Structure 1
Amino acid sequence: MTAPTLAPAPAPARPAAAPPPIDRAALAQRTDQVAAVAAEHVARTDRDASFPVEALAEMRRTGLLGLLVPTRYGGLGGDTDAMVRTSIALGRVDMSVAVIFAMHCQQVAALVRYADARLREELLPEIAAGRRYLASVTTEAGKGGHLLTSAAALGRDDDRLVLDRFAPIVTGGEYADGFLVTMQSPESTSPNQVSLVYAHREQLTVERSGDWQPLGMRASHSVALHLKGTLPGHQVVGEHGDFRSMVTAVFGPMAHIGWSACWLGTAAGALSRVVKMLRGPQSRGRVDLGSELLLTRLSRARQRLDTVHALLAQAQRVVATHEDLSPPRIQLLLNALKITAAEECHLAVDGLVEAVGMRHGYLKDSPTRLEHSLRDLRSAALNYSNDRLHLVDGRLALLDQEVRLD
């Protein structure tokens, strides 16, 4: 007896293909739109130490807030290289806007890699649609920006998390739609057991403390905030107590690469404006373009920027090609990028001030805007202190006896 012939089962429906990641030209167009808005308001936001709300609105409208969100969630599907190009371009116009963008991208990268499926489904489409700008809450009184410890304990109430957190510096925090917050893990036995949790703004009471009147980075509006609220348990990002591994894999690399791109963009923009001024019709007959002192100072500024650019490109390649970023030689490279970019970009602009003198180097109303760039870049060495990183690097150097550079 032969078996009856059965009709083949219908093939399962194939999910709709995700749109391709954004290409360079399209990304550059969106970035230019944000940069144009930032440029329109940069003098006011720096003068008033006011957050660049117009530039943020344009980031929302253009989809740049979703640059690192995968296309299946509606994002642009960009990668770290795309973040770097965008941060450099924004930094040419306003370092505060660039850092706001890069730090948001750092938070998004952590969610993409470590959030569970439920939180990703809830949050990533909202980021892609421009409805969620994220701020980072890692600073604590007495420890600065040190990431690997926390004194503020995360509580539990059945399956909910209880958050009570003061942070002395939260970049853009008053304008954020959500926060990624470091806390000492529930039931922890050490301040080194740190968890990362996500909180919607509407889940919290957010109280500002003090004012923001810094030397530079005035538009970053990095005020002190006190956050209190109760969160669903699934809003922990990754495993409780496992933030250290996130720092090594995502938070540290994205911070050092993103910040360095912003600083490089700011210094490159300053050099570009100086060269355009020197070559412009207003300088004819007034500036000796053959001056050996001027040419030497321009050369040194360009050398500093090319050095940072080369180190940034190398760090990007290493991060893109290594799954494990914990070996000492890789950590040393990433820390060297941050230290070198902070120092060399500031020195490049400082040298340009010397090159063009009081009128175009020191006064606020010069089209070179060197005074503004110099103030902003002075923060770079303090933004996670270079001194602290040198101490870390000294210990790491002792672990790499062969001094492996590959």
Structure 2
Amino acid sequence: MSESARPRPAAGGRFARQTDQARAVAEKYAQQTDAAAEFPVAVLDELRAGGLLGLMVPTEYGGLGGTLDELLDVSIALGRTDLSAALIFAMHCQQVACVVTHAAPPLAEELLPQIAAGRMYLASVTTEPGKGGHLLTAGAQLSAEEGRSGHLELDRFAPIVTGGAYADGFLISMRAPEAPSADAVSLVFARRDQLEITASGEWDPLGMRASHSVALRLTGSIPGHQVVGEHGEFRAVVLQTLGPLAHLGWSACWLGTAAGALSRVLRMLRESARGKDGKDGRLESELLLSRLSRARQRLDTVHALLRHTAAVVTAAAEGGTDVSLPRNQLLINSLKLTASEECHRAVEDLIDAVGLRHGYLRNSPTRLEKALRDLRSAPLNYSNDRLHQADGVLALLDAGVSFA
């Protein structure tokens, strides 16, 4: 059975069985959801049933109590099969971590058991017309609902909401009530049944087609206790939790996709080199071997940076130190920049290595064409140009060039 038909086992660990089951479902539907630009509903159903939606929920709320490294393990494994499915999972887990870390007890006690039970898939609403991907400002403003004490009224349009049409709840960034400044941003939770949701436009992208990141307008009213963190303090949520987990989770998904592509190419080459007598032949092309080496080097580099960054973020959380220090933020941003570029380049190396038939055609078992399309979005998913500008400022703040 070929690699395209048989997912390799997930990395060992506490959640290998659930991860393998989710990968098997993703493998079954990946071609269909990519071709039709459909959200992978069957994969989400398996994530619900297997408990992986509650991976980051503490055990006292009924969740799996997973660690950051375990989140990365599952994201890499899903990415090997389908990048869209992997990013849907990883981005949900980023939202869950924000609730775990920043929500006050009333909201946490209400929401986390629902997530643990698989009843609450969370989508992120942070994009807004006119501001690009800038997280720390907001135009649309929360307001007190007339006649209902403590309730907040929201009217929010977002041009891109990954999986939003299928979400059970949303974490939404908006300008804080009565705040005069666009940088006084709040993060609020809203259940689907608290909102009127209107989708607009079409979703027919080059890659990441199954992420179904359509434009949504969300209007409705929520109780005041559904704010995550303090009003106007979304910046703290981003610096301490959302930003680090976004870059770590995305990078793990991209790494998984490039690793899956390399694995399929290697299996194909070994099978094609096998002689009629069942013995392995030799692959002697120096150019081929060099390109395989370069692709593997890129992935090992990303993996090392991913694990180092995860260790720094985990140590900061456990030790109560500030992950937003310039040296830490530079490392976190460097991971995103490096992973988004090197994983895409690794797949380009593989396409050059195996040529037109197996590197460029959609029906090749290597699926390099799909991996290339999907990974092309990585530098655009929070623009690398914007990150480099931010890193230039951070570099000036760390004149001693200290390392995390």
Counterpart Cα distance in 2 of 1:310 and 1:299: 16
Name the residue aligned to 2:264.
273
Counterpart Cα distance in 2 of 1:34 and 1:173: 20
Counterpart Cα distance in 2 of 1:114 and 1:399: 27
Counterpart Cα distance in 2 of 1:59 and 1:144: 31
Q: Which runs of 5+ in 1 are unaligned?
A: 1-22
> Contact 2:198–2:217 (CA<8 Å) still a contact in 1?
yes
Q: What's the secondary structure of 2:199's corresponding residue? A: strand
Counterpart Cα distance in 1 of 2:241 and 2:118: 22
Name the residue aligned to 1:79.
67
Counterpart Cα distance in 2 of 1:104 and 1:283: 43
Counterpart Cα distance in 1 of 2:177 and 2:272: 65
Name the amino acid aligned to 2:49: R
Task: Give the Å deviation of 1:283.
Answer: 6.3
Q: 1:222 aligns with which of 192, 213, 217?
A: 213
Name the residue aligned to 1:254.
245
Task: Give the Å deviation of 1:326.
Answer: 1.3
Task: Give the Å deviation of 1:187.
Answer: 1.1
Q: 2:352 aligns with which of 341, 349, 354?
A: 354
RMSD between superposed Cα atoms in Å: 1.4
Q: Which moved more, 1:273-282 or 1:209-218?
A: 273-282
Counterpart Cα distance in 1 of 2:203 and 2:237: 30
Counterpart Cα distance in 1 of 2:330 and 2:34: 34
Pairing 1:47-62 to 2, within 5 Å after superposition = 47-62=35-50
Name the amino acid aligned to 1:162: E
Name the residue aligned to 2:308.
314
Name the residue aligned to 2:399.
401
Name the residue aligned to 2:122.
134
Percent of aligned positions that are identical: 64
2:337 maps to 1:339: yes
Name the amino acid aligned to 2:314: A
> Contact 1:277–1:283 (CA<8 Å) still a contact in 2?
no
Q: Residues 278-324 of structure 1, C-alpha deviation per residue, up to 9 Å, x if partnerless?
A: 00157659996111000000000000000000110110010011131
Counterpart Cα distance in 2 of 1:254 and 1:387: 20
Name the residue aligned to 1:296.
290
2:51 maps to 1:63: yes
Pairing 1:91-130 to 2, within 5 Å after superposition = 91-130=79-118
Task: Give the Å deviation of 1:26.
Answer: 3.7
Q: Residues 46-79 of structure 1, C-alpha deviation per residue, up to 9 Å, x if partnerless?
A: 0000000000000000000000000011000001
2:376 maps to 1:390: no
Task: Give the Å deviation of 1:122.
Answer: 0.8
Q: 2:372 aligns with which of 374, 379, 382?
A: 374
Pairs aligned (count):
384
Task: Give the Å deviation of 1:365.
Answer: 0.5
Name the residue aligned to 1:177.
168
Counterpart Cα distance in 2 of 1:221 and 1:207: 14
Name the residue aligned to 1:186.
177
Name the residue aligned to 1:46.
34
Name the amino acid aligned to 2:123: A
Name the residue aligned to 1:89.
77
Q: 1:329 aligns with which of 327, 330, 334?
A: 327
Counterpart Cα distance in 1 of 2:186 and 2:14: 37
Counterpart Cα distance in 2 of 1:108 and 1:92: 23
CA 1:82/1:392 → structure 2, altered by over 3 Å: closer, same or farther? same
Q: TM-score, normalised by structure 2?
A: 0.93
Name the residue aligned to 2:5.
none
Q: Which runs of 5+ in 2 are unaligned?
A: 1-10
Q: What's the secondary structure of 1:55's corresponding residue? A: helix
Counterpart Cα distance in 1 of 2:122 and 2:250: 16
Q: TM-score, normalised by structure 1?
A: 0.93
Counterpart Cα distance in 1 of 2:275 and 2:383: 43
Name the amino acid aligned to 1:46: D
Q: 1:238 aligns with which of 210, 221, 229?
A: 229
> Contact 1:278–1:287 (CA<8 Å) still a contact in 2?
no
Counterpart Cα distance in 1 of 2:175 and 2:322: 25
Name the residue aligned to 1:164.
155
Counterpart Cα distance in 1 of 2:82 and 2:274: 25
Q: What's the secondary structure of 2:197's corresponding residue? A: strand
